[in-house]
Each structure stands twice: as structure tokens, then as C-alpha cells.
Amino acid sequence: MTPSAQQPLVTTTAGTVRGFWRDGSAAFLGIPFAEPPVGERRFQAPVPHRPWEGVRDALEHGATPQRKALAEVTLIPEPSIAGESTLNVNVFTPSPERAGGAGLPVLVWIHGGGYVAGSPASPWYDGAAFNRDGVVTVSVSYRLGFDGFGWIQDAPRNRGVLDWLLALEWVRDNIAAFGGDPSRVTLSGQSAGGGAVQTLLGMPSAQPLFKRVISLSGPPTAATLADSEALGRKLAELGGVEPTIAGLSTLAEAEVLALQGQISSVAAGGDADPMAGLKAFLGGEALTLGPVVDGELIPFATVDAFAAGIGADKELILGTTDNEFNMILAGAADSMAAVPPAAVLGGLGVNPATIEAYVGSHQDLGTAALVGQFVTDHMFRAPALKLAEVRAGTGAPTWLYRFSWNSPTIGGACHCIDVPFMWDVLGEGHVPAIAGTEPPQGLADELHGSSVAFIAAGQPGWPAYDDANRAVRVYDVPSMVVFDGYSDTRALLAERVA
């Protein structure tokens, strides 16, 4: 980095970028790591960005692939920014005076949003607090929805995953110039981003590009190529075109977004029928517009990759909030009060033995609350436990946590509530909507602090999960470490919803 009284300059492999100073750190926004994925490149693998001459301003967030906010699914402020150059990174780094030189640990963040929405431009992903504590941060964008993950007969599979890989290669080749150590990269993300970093941890080709992983509320990748093909053919049929690059290229972006809403309950956001959406979530259909097991780039489902020992040499923290999607039926408490919960779960395809065990252990919950908790446990909490136990069985270093502090505005420890605590941005203007006007700073100090410790040295401050101690860190006021903190989800470990 070249210090300047006005603006910092950094030379990357493609050219020099100009950022801006902040309090004790520098920000570089919207640096392109790939050519714009438009025209002939729209449905192809990403191509590294061509070199430029002179100095390129990196003073504003770049364009985002997001064209429709998923306000009904994510509570994180993630703006949509128009433009074609949607494959870019934001880098936040301590100033040379504070960093004391190069070689700092690096956090690379992949945003969530159901793989169809989300944005790296969120103020919650500002790296100031991590910079303060000696960590360089990078947030990345990637192609979303059908453009990033939809099956096309003659196009590369998992194009959004290829975007992640190219972004990580950019970090490998450039982060030292920003004061980071390319051999000390930690991947992290929340929701779909949490699933993304799990997917990368289970991919052989990604292994040289990072050292550690922190997955927040990540649903494991399990969708098959057959699932993806069926969805891709359906979208093309609805659009009246062949399921090929030539056919789908005739559809404008707005047309594809509209068709996504017809084939995916997540892409439809709040427009989908609630019960249909629940069944899609429970059956795994909801995230088919996301990474798929293609037998090549992603050879195995995440749980099978971990069982095979892929990524076992890397440290992993994973966990969930206690009540991720309970709010999905919050408005239906009165209307569902007289309906037996077993009837609702049965209608959603849950097998009778699981229903009996689950209802019996949650008798204090009304029907809407119980079904909401079941969705949370089935989609997030039981899979987190399963992944921790599978990794523990291979001897892979793994730490399991729960975020249990209840939102005073939404209720429960809801989806996304842990993000501003991890990033230590409780003063940001959108936080009161999810955490109230007096969120506990001490809890942010704990979660952010354990994240920094893990990113820097691979030790978050509580015992790793294994078959003997089953240690789980519970983030709450007060926080604690408990034994077998996910035991209430064990009945769901083998559950498959029809």
C-alpha cells in the first residue's frame, strides 16, 4: 500500500486502485475481479478482469447481481446497485501505521440471501471493527439465481461457485498488497453464505485457497444435478425457449427474475404460498437455485464430503441461531391454534415417528411456534449438529455454537440476528429493527472477539466438539459452554421429508 495524505493507492495484478482513508483503516470498494458477466459471458465461467491503465477509483460499491431484495427472508440491509460489472470485491484494511506491515490474517465474507438475493455492499459487512483488531476483510459478489446456478444444457454448472473460486484466487494473488497474508485466509458467510463456505470446504479444488472456515446458519449443499436440470427445463419451458445458452440468452434479466419466482419459493420471496414455501424448505426444494452436486466441481454433498475427510485439515466453526425461521408463521398463531401440530407436520410430509417424538418434546409450544421451530431445526440446527459429528468422527477440528439471545423486536433468536454482533456494528442504523435500541455490546465483544481469535490463530476460546465432550458455546447474556447443546434436534438427524 502506498500511503498518501489524501488517498491510499494499491497495485493489483490488473492495475492500481485508489481507495479512501477512514478512522485507522482504508477502504477499497468495487474492485472487479472478473469481466462483467453479460452478453456472451452471461452464462459462462468467469474470466479474470483485463488490466487497466492508470489509477482506477475504488471509492464506491460496485454493481451487485441482486435485482430484488429478499426482505421477507433476510433482515440484513443489502442494497441493490445497478450496473453490469457485478463481479467485484470490497477490501477493508488497517492503515500501514496501525498494521505495522504486511502479513495480517484475512477474513473473506460471502453474503447470504438464498442464493437469489443479497449484496456485499451491506453496511453490516463493513470491516472497520475487524481492521481495528488486526484483520483484513474482503466481501465478494457472485452471480445469483438462475444466472449463477440454473441448469443450462450447454453451459458450465455451478457458475456462482466458479465466481467464488475466482474471487478467492484474486485474494490469493492480491491480498498481500493490502497488508494481508494469503496463507491465513478464513472464509465466512451467513445463511446461503454459510452454506457457500461449507460447500467450498468440501470441494477438493478449493482446498489451497483458504485455511479456516466460519459458517453461520449455513444449510448444507445436497441438491442433485437431476433436481437442477428439472428446474432449469421448467424455467425454459415457461419462458418459451430451449434450455440452451442461445435460447435463454433471448430472455431479458427481468423476464428471468419473473420466471424464478414461478419455480422457486425462495426466489418468489413473500409472494409464495406460506404452506407451499414450508414444504419446499423442508423438502430441500427451496435452495435448488444454489450449488448442486455435479460430480465434478462439487463431487459430493457437503455431509458426504466431510465424511470422506475433505477439508479435515482445516479448522471449522459452525452454528445457528436458536429460532432461525420461527417467524415464518408468527402471524398465524391464532388461526393455527386449534389445529393439531401433528396434522400440520403430517401434511408437510414428515414421517409419523418423527412427528410423535418432536411433538412430545415440544409440548410447551403452540402449533405455529412448533412448526416454525421444526423448520428451524430441520433446515439449520440438526444439519449443523450432523456436520459437527461427522467432522468429529474424522478427527477434523470443529467448534459448534448457538446464538440464543432473543430479539426484542422480532422475538426469539431469529435468522440474521448474530451478524451485527459478529461484525461489531451495533451502532449501524438498521440494527435496532432486529436487535432493539439497546443491544448488549458485551455480547458483540464476545462473538466478535472469538471470531478474531479464530481467524488469527484457529482457537475461538472454547473446547472443540468431539464425541466425548460435545461442547457447544451458547452466545447469550450471560454466555456459557454447555454439554450437547443441540440434543433437542437429534430426532431429526435421519429425517427426510417427502
Active site residues: 191, 324, 415
Helices (H), 191-301: 192-201, 225-239, 245-248, 253-263, 274-283
Measured in Å, how far apart are the chain's first and last C-alpha atoms? 55
Please tell me the distance from the alpha carbon of residue 407 to that of residue 417, in angstroms, as a whole number.
7
Q: Answer positive or negative: Cα dihedral of 320, 181, 396, 387.
A: positive
Question: Between the CA of residue 323 and those of 399, 406, 466, 473, what are the distances in Å?
Answer: 20, 9, 24, 16
No. of helices (H) and no. of strands (E), the chain: 18, 14
**Cβ pair 387, 199 in contact under 8 A:** no
Please tell me the distance from the alpha carbon of residue 277 to that of residue 366, in angstroms, as a whole number.
20
Cell output for 126: 463493513
Query: In sequence order, what are the residues at sequence separation of 6 or more whose Cβ sits closer than 8 angstroms to the Cβ of residue 232?
Result: 146, 150, 151, 152, 153, 243
Helices (H), 4-153: 96-99, 128-132, 145-149
> Helix 159-174 to helix 192-201 angle, to the nearest 10 degrees?
70
27, β-bridge pairs: 20, 92
**Cβ pair 480, 395 in contact under 8 A:** no
Q: Answer positive or negative: Cα dihedral of 302, 307, 313, 316.
A: positive
Closest residue by Cα to residue 229 from 154, 316, 127 = 154
Please tell me the distance from the alpha carbon of residue 238 to that of residue 87, in angstroms, as a whole number.
28
Query: Cell 460489472 sits at which residue?
Result: 85
Closest residue by Cα to residue 339 from 358, 360, 365, 367 = 367
267: phi then psi, degrees, rounded to nearest 5: -65, -30
390: phi then psi, degrees, rounded to nearest 5: -65, -45
DSSP label of 176: G
Please tell me the distance from the alpha carbon of residue 119 to that of residue 196, in angstroms, as a whole number.
14
Supply the Cα-derived Rg of the chain in whole angstroms. 22
**Cβ pair 432, 498 in contact under 8 A:** no
10: phi then psi, degrees, rounded to nearest 5: -135, 135
